[in-house]
Amino acid sequence: MDLILIANIIACLGALGGFIFGAIKFFRPKKSIYALMITLFCGVTVFTRLYQIIRVIVIGELVDRVNLGVIGFIGSLLFLFTANFGVMDKIGDDGAKSLRKYRLIPLAMPAAVLAAYLVFFFFTDLTTLIKVVAGSIAFFVCLSSYYNLKHLILPDVKNGIIDCMRQYNLFALIYEILCIIELITMTRGLAIGTIIICSLMGIVSPLTIISVARGVKKWKA
């Protein structure tokens, strides 16, 4: 069987586990919209992987032309971004001057992603299509990873929820780093590397929602 297919199946199953867990736990009235967003992240990841699996089976190619898998990846990253940017950020960061360094330090993450993109994609002889696709995914990784790192280091003075969500932010950050590494391995045809990375993503994606559930429980206690 195609190794890329196996890699996508592993990642899909992991995300499916996370989505089912999240759906059972959070798809109810008056549940946290934050957790709902992370559940939807798992849901979009399932559909994206499923799309890639079916595309490999039906059409036989994955990276020759732009496909909806790319949009799916962007969508899943946007759910991660929306959760932190739209829901959590104002709880932890009230705009105080004392928190300025916690707004600046996380810029290291987008800078690292940008550097990785320039080295592994932009200044290489890969096709323009791959450069554009990798660039758009890297851009959304930059957006979401900034907030994940920010909420990982931000001191929690008021509410206690930022503290409870640190584990989730760590897993989300790992997931985003794995996204970039998967792009690198896949565009270079490193099938074994892609399988390893997708297996890790298959483990990390359900851990994101499990850690959110644990965080919410801890915060409520």
Between 124 and 163, name the residue whose CB sits nearer to another protein.
163
Q: How far is CA 51 from CA 43, 45, 56, 68, 216, in A?
A: 12, 10, 9, 8, 32
Between 66 and 118, name the residue whose CB sits nearer to another protein.
66
- Beta-carbon contacts of residue 87 (< 8 Å; ≥ 6 apart): 33, 34, 37
By CB under 8 A, residue 29 contacts another protein? yes
By CB under 8 A, residue 86 contacts another protein? yes
The CB-of-71 to another protein minimum distance in angstroms stands at: 5
Under rule CB under 8 A, how many of the chain's residues touch another protein? Answer: 46
182: closest CA among 120, 112, 106, 118? 120
Burial of 206 (0-12, 13-18, 19+ CB in 10 A): buried
The CB-of-69 to another protein minimum distance in angstroms stands at: 8
Between 89 and 190, name the residue whose CB sits nearer to another protein.
89
Q: Interacting stretch for another protein, rule CB under 8 A, among 9-17, 77-85, 101-109, 175-183? A: 77-85
Q: What is the CA radius of gyration of the chain?
A: 17
Treating both helix axes as pointing N-terminal to C-terminal, what angle do 191-220 and 166-187 enclose, rounded to 10 degrees? 170
Chain residues in the site for another protein (CB under 8 A): 23, 27, 29-34, 36-37, 40, 43-44, 47-48, 50-51, 54-55, 57-59, 65-69, 71-72, 74-76, 78-79, 81-82, 85-91, 159, 161, 220
